[in-house]
Amino acid sequence: EVQLVESGGGLVKPGGSLRLSCAASGFTFNTYSMNWVRQAPGKGLEWVSSISSSSGYIYYADSVKGRFTISRDNAKNSLYLQMNSLRAEDTAVYYCARGPGVTTYWFDPWGQGTLVTVSS
Amino acid sequence: DIQMTQSPSSLSASVGDRVTITCRASQGISNYLAWYQQKPGKVPKLLIYAASTLQSGVPSRFSGSGSGTDFTLTISSLQPEDVATYYCQKYNSAPFTFGPGTKVDIK
């Protein structure tokens, strides 16, 4: 069974940093693209960042470019999101989601999400 | 960047009704479009990819169509368990933008 388990969320002050992790199991991690999608409270889905299977292609939403860094460790079956210079508007549930292949970017399945709250 | 819009933003229909949701891209995206369902308090779920390909396990009452800039998601016979918000998403190139969502409930 494919499983994606996010961790690392929490309360952080504006300007602070946080590192999210996503532990993957049940599939050959190094053959799939991986993604982060967020959802602010009561709002819609917002794509954040994507990384191809071998990290050769990396993409960011304009809203996080220069502040967030996506990475993966295929030996550890893990995906990461380093978030710096956090703002109140980054408050959201952050979902990890798998792509369907090496460099394709629809999302299935999704993890349960981890809540990031940016507040003083 | 290509913008994604959806209409209507919400709808209320009776059980058994045919429901159609429209998604529009500001520029052509061929068939690089996916649809997701998010039930209240739950994780989003992929319904359709490549504009019209039903994901495994998704009930056949869901269907998708369209290409270029105009796409539709149709529920042929609305069921109580279909109460959810539905999102389209483009994936032809980054940014992989979602539409704003369409909330569906039962009249």
Mean per-residue pLDDT for A100-105? 85
Using a pLDDT cut of 70, give the percent of chain A over it: 100
**Whole-number pLDDT of residue A102:** 81
Q: What is the pLDDT of residues B62-101, one digit of tens each?
A: 999 999 999 999 999 999 999 999 999 999 999 999 999 9
Place of tokens 């019209």: B52
CATH homologous superfamily, domain B4-106? Immunoglobulins (2.60.40.10)
Name the pLDDT band for A117 (thresholds 50, 70, 90). Answer: very high
Contact between chains at A45 and B36 (C-beta distance less than 8 A): yes
Flag whether pLDDT at A101 surpasses 90: no
Report the residue from A61, A62, A106 with minimal CB separation from B89: A106
Give the helix, strand, coil percentages of chain B, each rounded to 5.
5, 50, 50
The C-alpha atoms of residue A64 and residue B79 are separated, in whole angstroms, by 38
Contact call for A59 and B96, based on CB within 8 A: yes
Confidence of residue A103 (pLDDT cuts 50, 70, 90): confident
Q: pLDDT by residue (tens digit) across B34-72?
A: 999 999 999 999 999 999 999 999 999 999 999 999 999
What are the residues whose beta carbons fall under 8 Å from the beta carbon of A42, sequence distance 6 or more? Answer: none
Nearest Cα of chain A lies from the Cα of B25 at a distance, in angstroms, of: 16
List chain A residues with CB under 8 Å of B95. 47, 59, 61-62
B101 contacts A45? CB cut-off 8 A: yes
